[in-house]
A and B are shown apart, each in its own frame.
Chain A
Amino acid sequence: MTGIFDAAWLAATISLTTPVLFAALGEAVSERTGVINVGLEGMMLTGAFFAFLVTWQSGSPWLGVFAGLVAGALLAAVMAGLAIEAGADQIVTGIGLNILALGITSFAFDQIFAHRSQVILDAMTPVGIPGLEDLGGVGKALFHQPPLAYAAYLLVPVLWLLLHRTNAGLALRAAGELPEAVDTAGISVRAVRWTGTLTAGAMAGVGGAYLSVVSLGLFVQGMSAGRGFIALAAVIFGRWRPLSVLGACLLFGGADALQLRLQVAETIPREVWVVVAAVPLVALAYAIARRRVSRIERGGVAVGAAVLAGGTVLAIVRPDWSIPGQLWLTMPYVVAILVLAGFVGRTRLPSALAVPYRRGAANQV
């Protein structure tokens, strides 16, 4: 951990990743059940506002986080009602809910706070994990966090267990691929999809609460600022698997933290190029570990080789470049699109994603 990738970078990465991770994990579950929630952004924003409001009123950040959860879930309930019960277009509904959420939170904020001076709440007190906290240079950065942050990372194995080791998980995974199979197994597809949608809304709400009351202690209109869409991209990049979604969120968070630090750097430090050159090697190692080498496409090999060569050359030459932070910020979306297009590994959306389920329609293939 030297140079630009120091403990402060690590700490910033964690704090930028955590709120997105909440939303992305919930959305991964939702998309697994066949509901894509473009309204994730709005649900984060709603969660952020109501968490802030309730914390300000009650003085308890925990009550605030709970309020954020409920607010996100309520908005998701509207989504579920329209998309699952009424068969409305999920995309259009999600767009509408984003606009509605922006309107409601901004309106209520103006209404309640416009005539006050800026309200700043105490951020949630970080809690250290004894033993780990004092570990080397990174202990403090990783293991001295607000309690809610640990919850986000604990949710990764919890959701993995839920999806892969429980009966509910089987139904959740099947509902987005072949809802007919769920139905014929005697489980209500509607119930499964409601579960997924509400999970996404509640967790996006918690992610929003994390932004407002845990890390900042204040609310700004539109403060989710696209994080809901980053979460959507992370779900795609993470291919709907909790652990990979965590990886995607950390990558995006790490890049974001890096660009914040690079804004002050004159040129891009050598270690950044080294990391860039290492990415294809890590990907290859992963492919070997998972026995996927044979599935790598020619395009993937070309891209990987180019990145490796380019990164190596740049690390040696160390040109006097600076890459604007704004361009770093396009990375999550570009990566998600490349993944979807099959340039980086192969992936496909859950087969029944955004398709309303009607019994009997299945027989007419």
Chain B
Amino acid sequence: MSSSATGAGAPLLRLRGITKRFGTLAANDDVSLEVEHGEIHGLLGENGAGKTTLVNIVYGLLQPDAGSIEIDGAPVRIESPRHALELGIGMVHQHFMLVPDMTVAENVALGLGRGRPTPSRVRVVSSELWRLSTRFGLEVDPEQRVDELSVGVQQRVEILKLLYRGARLLILDEPTAALTPAEWQALSEVLGSLTAEGKAIVFITHKLDELFGVADRCTVLRDGAVVGTAAMATATKADLARMMVGRPVTLRVERPPLDPGVPVLQVEGLTLVERGRTLLDGLDFEVREREILGIAGVDGNGQRELVETLIGLRKPTEGTVRMHGEALEHWSPRGFGRRSGAVVPEDRQRSGAALDLSLLENLMLKDYFARTFSRRGVLDRRRAAEHCRRLVNAYDIRAAGLDVRMSQLSGGNQQKAVLARELHREPKLLIAAQPTRGLDVGAIEFVYQQLLAHRARGGATLLISIELDEVLSLSDRIAVMFGGRFLRVLEAAEADPELLGLLMAGTEGAAA
């Protein structure tokens, strides 16, 4: 009697009301979607919108707290990645799961025969791969070692691996992140030939352009919930961008107008090439006193490299960086600090703080060697403690004491400690990268107040964030970073979420 849903008409994959919570955070909230046979289904959303959690549930890595999954109309409980594969669901991770010193065929054969000491039949796999790769237009030599292959070819190997195991639904997690345009062109042709044979593809991305011309439909996630599903044939970029980022601004920030002063940081033609990859591509900008320059953009478009270059951890290939008009050469984080520069690193738990050291030590990270706190190499603990107590009070850091390990503080208090350490000397330039990542509302508000106070004191701020709201509400000017370049620098007044969403998705058309 419940066979109504099964049968030839049922979608390949149907999710109903999937909910997954981590603590108090709902990573997926009542998510429902359907993927038809032969369909390419885009899954669109910002960082942290819940895309990865959702596909991990479908792939058997996570179990949902509520909701159901159906395959061809039959309800299933997906226990593990292996089980998912048996059900015909395969996933290509952003970081390839390929063993570099084994051949393509060996990588595909890995896991066959459950790893028993039985003959591995790599030859058989190899000839089957030839067949599959010609059938789907995936040019791969099964006998080549993986570490000799380009990223694009490695991706094809991942797809072949799944096809070999009979996957019918392929989940591609940001498949274009590392591809050249030509490789992307080739991949989209492959995807076409796959769907022609009835395979379905879920394509996770936050780049709008890629979906047009490839995907049939697209589901937009925001804050863990489905905003809507649109047919690509009728949808416009503007609609999708609004769906993706158009959440109501939750935090109202009072940003009084101030007249910017002289430039503190001036960057001309900044280029960074490492191992043949252009990470920063001719950046030109300046940040002035009493001004916040916001840099919006999706993660991994050169933001981290920009910060590390500015503070002196990486050596630019070309271009000049000036602070207070002085061109910098061979500078280090210490030199950056001496020129009244401060930085809130994007990864608080790795670069911002040393979690295994105490709160006091973390507060002293950039001052312990200063004359005030050490004499002939011996630390003055009394002065350090006094200084830190002042910071704890001024920045309202909640901790059981100065000797508490940093790892025992909440994320918000860790970030307050980082801000206290960086801002107490009233620097002229602050670089704040993802300053509110993972923080609760109260802590976010505190961070915003501090950034604005720094601005009001006359400091210059370079704010780098993937949170569009944040950039919009705090910045005086906004640049969008994509592929190591600034697509455009806008005055705050001319920026709106839709335009920024388009730029962040790399739509060159909007740059004009």
Contact = CB atoms under 8 A, between A and B. Distances in A.
Interface of A: 162, 165-171, 173-174, 177-178, 180-187, 191-192, 351, 360, 362-363, 365
B81 interface: yes
Interface residues of B, number: 27
Contacts of B338: none
B119 interface: yes
5 contacts: A165-B120, A167-B113, A174-B110, A186-B85, A187-B115
Contacts of B109: 167, 170
Contacts of B116: 166-168
A181 B110 contact: yes
B433 to A, nearest CB: 18
User: Interface centre among B81, B111, B114, B120, by most A CB within 10 Å?
Assistant: B111
A184 B120 contact: no
A192 B82 CA distance: 17
B114 A184 contact: no
B100 A178 contact: yes
Interface in B54-109: 61, 80-82, 85, 95, 97-102, 106-107, 109
Nearest to A188: B115
A182 to B, nearest CB: 7
A169 B120 contact: yes
Nearest to B114: A187
Given A168-B115, A171-B110, A187-B111, A181 B81 contact: no
Contacts of B98: 178, 181
A168 B111 CA distance: 9
Contacts of A169: 117, 120
A186 B80 contact: yes
B112 interface: yes
Question: Which of B98, B99, B116 is the most central at the interface, judged by chain A CB atoms within 10 Å of its CB?
Answer: B99
B118 interface: yes
A170 B97 contact: no
Contact of A171 (B85, B95, B97, B111): B111
Nearest to B56: A363
Nearest to A162: B117
A185 B165 CA distance: 11
Given A165-B120, A170-B102, A173-B99, A181 B114 contact: no
A186 B114 contact: yes
A295 B113 CA distance: 36
Task: Give the 9 A-B CB pairs with smallest separation, nearest first.
Answer: A185-B111, A186-B82, A167-B113, A171-B115, A168-B117, A187-B115, A181-B97, A174-B99, A170-B110
A177 B95 contact: no
A168 B61 CA distance: 24
Contacts of A181: 97-99, 107, 110
A6 to B, nearest CB: 41
Given A178-B98, A178-B100, A186-B85, A192 B107 contact: no
Q: Is the interface of A mostly helix, strand, loop or mixed?
A: helix
Contact of B119 (A166, A184, A363, A365): A166
Contact of B118 (A166, A174, A182, A365): A166
B167 to A, nearest CB: 13
Nearest to B83: A186
Interface of B: 61, 80-82, 85, 95, 97-102, 106-107, 109-120, 122
Nearest to A348: B101
A178 B99 contact: yes
Contacts of A173: 99, 101-102
Contacts of B117: 162, 166-169
Nearest to B161: A185
Nearest to B98: A181
Nearest to A191: B115
Contacts of A184: 81, 97
Given A181-B97, A186-B111, 19 more contacts: A166-B116, A166-B118, A167-B111, A167-B120, A168-B117, A170-B110, A170-B120, A171-B111, A177-B99, A177-B100, A177-B101, A178-B98, A178-B99, A181-B98, A182-B110, A183-B81, A187-B110, A187-B111, A365-B95
A18 to B, nearest CB: 24
Contacts of B114: 167, 186-187
A208 to B, nearest CB: 25
A360 B62 CA distance: 10
A170 B100 contact: no
Contacts of A363: 95
A162 B120 CA distance: 9
A363 B93 CA distance: 9
B56 to A, nearest CB: 9
Contacts of A166: 116-120
Contacts of B81: 183-184, 186
A181 B118 CA distance: 19
B430 to A, nearest CB: 28
B434 to A, nearest CB: 16
A112 B355 CA distance: 53
B145 to A, nearest CB: 12
B82 A174 contact: no
A165 to B, nearest CB: 6
Nearest to B118: A167
A170 B122 CA distance: 10
A216 B113 CA distance: 43
A348 to B, nearest CB: 9
A192 B116 CA distance: 10
